[in-house]
Structure 1
Amino acid sequence: MHRVPPVSADIPALVTPGSVSGDLPEASALLACVILAHTDPVHVRRLIDALDPFPVFLHCDSRASPRVFAAMTTDLPERCTVLPRMKTGWARWENVAAELAGFRAALESTFATHVALLTGADYPLASVEEFTDTLTACAGQSITYINPLPYDGWGASGGLDRLKFRHWAVRKHMIRIPIPRRLPPDVVLSGGSQLKILSRAHAQTVVDIADRRPDLVRFWRRSWVADETFIPSLLGTAQFFPNWSNEHIRATPWWIGWDGTRRKSPPWLGTEQTDAVLSRRNFDQQELPSLFARKFTTGMSDQILDAIDASRSFSAPAAVASGAS
């Protein structure tokens, strides 16, 4: 296990050679996994085991107790790096800062062709062989689903209110200052899931933009649920990613159990969702089988996780459509 020195929550500093000790982990692994965890160390450790041999960059919310942090990080395998801790509460900018810190560490200390952003409540559905075949077929491409704003699925304003006003998150409640502010004029505002798989080049460009555009970081610090708009907006802006349309697969690589009820986060998955999760399809016409699923928790999800582990032993390589979205 490695540890990265503490960094700023605004723009996490570049990991320098030698700051992550040891040899480059799993030089042949195509995927590096950044995990943002908050609780449930038993599941987090099971998730890390399931991701073997992929290098893991683990962030544990600084609000978690010393006991939880120790349970998550004690005696981790050598392929794991523990990131500096930040207060990654619901809807806070620090979720983006922790993601950027994970990208930096992964880019500096591995040769991975892709970097995935997971939460500590996720779990892989594909086998190592399927991940390898899928990412080989997606060489140079990211797998994510973003939409320009306004987006019909994001309320009356189409999500623009998240950015138009300044926000604070206090105990899972939104505090909004109802005075409009100037939007960044050179960015195509976009939104999408925090969960994504980025190509190495795209992850590097995202980190570079965060370095050279502190004005964007300052703006997004007061945006609502910035982890669903900051990186999607960068990816959707042609001046930053001029070939984006040809360099990504427009797909959601996570199976998520949204059930149509109004809620702040998806429901926990249990035995009754086993068949649906193992179908690896959120909808019938989905071309790329889901590679991950969420949300899982120790106890309630034990049996479905056992079924997933059994299915991963037999999962076949996914067919990936080449080219653009």
Structure 2
Amino acid sequence: MAKIAFILLCHKDPEAIIQQAKQFTAVGDYISIHFDARAPKEAYDLIRKKLYGNPNVAFAKKRIKCGWGEWSLVQATLYAVEAAVDAFPRATHFYMVSGDCMSIKSAKYAHKFLDANDVDYIESFDYFESDWIKTGLKEERLIYRHWFNERTQKRRFYWSFWTQRKLGITREVPNDIQIMIGSQWWCLRRRTIEWILNFVKERRDVVRFFKTTWIPDETFFQTLVRHLVPADEIKTRTLTFLMFTDYGMPLTFYNDHYDLLIGQDGLFARKISPEAAELKSRLGKLYASDQEDFNVSAEGWNLFKFLTGRGRIGRRFAPRFWEAEATLGRDRELFVIVCKKWHVAKRLSASIRNHTDIPAIDYLFNEDQTDLPDLGGIQTSLAKRTRHRRSLMRMLFDYYETEKLVICLDTANIDLLEDFFSDRSRARLLEVECDFSDEYLIGHAKRVGLAAPDSSQETLGQIIPTIRYDIAFESERIQDSNFQGYHRIQQDHSQAKNAEILGSFLDVTPEVAQELSATPYLFDG
């Protein structure tokens, strides 16, 4: 009888991890956990404490800090796999899961399924011939060396990339392996896992190559399995059911998706909403049951469209995916900086990026050229960003893998403020009040088309008071709205006073707040 060792990489929500581990081990399976070293020590200690004494639970012998697109994700997986191989000699299969994966069949069904098919399940498509990569970098992931994280060190990442490209500094792919690509959600037999671990020890040249490729968790195991295992023993598919939206983001499943999920041709599903308590409970009970008769249709996408077309309970019409995920997340914090002088807010957001680990994004709803990651197309125009504002923000939280995010808005964006501050997430507002000279207002009038380059002083004299009034009106309207967590720094305040306000707004130490307040030339211009 098959016995599964689940390989779990996770970085948050310790209670959910504990519950997941108990569910897997209650039926005799195993789990090996790598908990990101970036996560709070207290969370890791809680997991160790609650799972202490469970012989079917193992922990990676070394914890490392993981980053999206980095080798660190592969290394963390290898650490967890090594721990599982050593701790669970009876494990026949090793199944990669995430914290938001759940079973959609019973354990009894899963074990019989694996026993009946002596193969490895892993998406493994030819890297160059397949169309698995739809857009963005392809060959460049391999022939250039990538030392920096594209999300957290974007400037260094692209500076390194363009420097290598300009100088023609490329490298060869190891000539005896065929690079493959596919989903990171695999299920491999014990023999295959042991072959991979031996290969890693013997072929350090291949490991060195993958250490500086971009997004190696989509290529490393996929390539090695194809290199080591006969083709007729590989099923090029994942046993984890997942679907993607029109914008390339994973669909999230909710309470009313139970029937859809258990009818899919897979053993697990990703991603289950953290708020779908009923769905989690039902799937947990299903995994522990003896049910074996599942009516598998595998028509996930068509059924999904049908169910959402009927509408959810309590709603006349079903939400589209950006409405279904209309909340940013109850535990997330959105910090909004509003300022009429965009260059002032940009200096402050740059300083926040420099002195804290909170991602800060400039005027994404005001400037078309704002530097944003590729989110599948939703970020391509101001109209799309504004229309799907909450979905966009949710994607940004997910992209940066953060619970805190800073954005900048113009003081005129009262509708956006009202929308974000009505969400269930925790939102805070910082108004940056600046002085406006006549010279600045004249320049502003010309930039927005209220005045021509050669407008007379008489015309400008009529325009300036109106603009000054509009700016004051926007500020008063914000203050009168009584937004929660409202803070305000002012140009004529001392650095010490502004530092105190910034510390309260961002919940940072006095030292960091002082650094932010002392941002060079913050209010100049």
- Report the TM-score, using the length of structure 2 for normalisation: 0.49
The match for 2:67 among 81, 89, 99 is 89
1:40 counterpart (6, 10, 13) = 13
Identify if the C-alpha distance between structure 1 residues 318 and 63 changes in structure 2 by more than 3 Å, giving closer, same or farther. Answer: same
C-alpha displacement of 1:247: 1.1
Are residues 194 and 136 of structure 1, via their aligned partners in 2, closer, same or farther at CA, if it must alter by over 3 Å? same
Measure the CA separation in 1 of the matches of 2:224 and 2:292. Answer: 34
- For the residues of structure 2 that align with 1:117 and 1:38, how far apart are their CA atoms? 15
Rg bigger for which structure?
A: 2
Task: Name the SS of the counterpart of 2:196 in structure 1.
Answer: helix
Instruction: From 239, 249, 272, give the equivalent of 1:296.
Output: 272
Match of 1:250 among 221, 224, 236: 236
Runs of 4+ in 1 over 3 A off after TM superposition: 156-159, 170-174, 272-275, 317-320
Deviation digits for residues 48-81 of structure 1, max 9, x if unmatched?
1221221111100000001221232222022111
Higher helix share goes to which structure? Answer: 2
C-alpha separation in 1, matches of 2:286 and 2:31:
22
Residues 121 and 187 in structure 2, CA contact (< 8 A), matched pair in contact too: yes
Q: Is 1:161 equivalent to 2:140 in the alignment?
A: yes
- Richer in strand (by share): 1
How many Å separate the matches in 1 of 2:153 and 2:187? 29
Which residue of 2 is the match for residue 66 of structure 1?
Answer: 41
Contact 1:134 1:319 in 2 (8 A): no
Distance 2:184 2:63 in 1: 19
Residue identity matched to 2:186: K
**Contact 1:61–1:86 (CA under 8 A) maintained in structure 2:** yes
- The within-5 A match list for 1:243-322 is 243=230, 245-263=231-249, 266-280=250-264, 289-298=265-274, 300-312=275-287, 313=289, 315-316=291-292
RMSD: 2.4
- The 8 Å contact of residues 134 and 318 in structure 1, kept in 2 or not, is answered as no
CA distance in 1, matches of 2:59, 2:11: 13
1:87 match: secondary structure? coil
Mind listing any 5+ residue stretches in structure 2 that lack a counterpart? 165-169, 297-525
TM-score normalised according to structure 1 size: 0.78
Distance 1:186 1:317 in 2: 45
2:50 alignment partner, SS class: coil
Go from structure 1 to structure 2 and tell me whether the alpha carbon gap of 1:39 and 1:297 turns closer, same or farther (over 3 Å shift). farther
Q: Is the 8 A contact 1:29 1:54 kept in 2?
A: no
Most deviating of 163-172 and 114-123:
163-172
Gap change, CA 1:276 and 1:318, over 3 Å in 2: closer
> CA 1:112–1:317 in structure 2 vs 1: closer, same or farther (change >3 Å)?
farther
CA distance in 2, matches of 1:292, 1:260: 22
Match for residue 182 of structure 1? 172
Q: What one-letter code is carried by the residue in structure 1 that aligns with 2:86?
A: E
Please name the residue that 1:223 is paired with.
213
State the structure with bigger RCO (CA 8 A, min sep 6), 1 or 2: 1
The unaligned stretches of length 5 or more in structure 1 are 1-27, 281-288, 321-325
Q: What CA distance in whole angstroms lies between the structure 2 residues aligned with 1:297 and 1:106?
A: 28
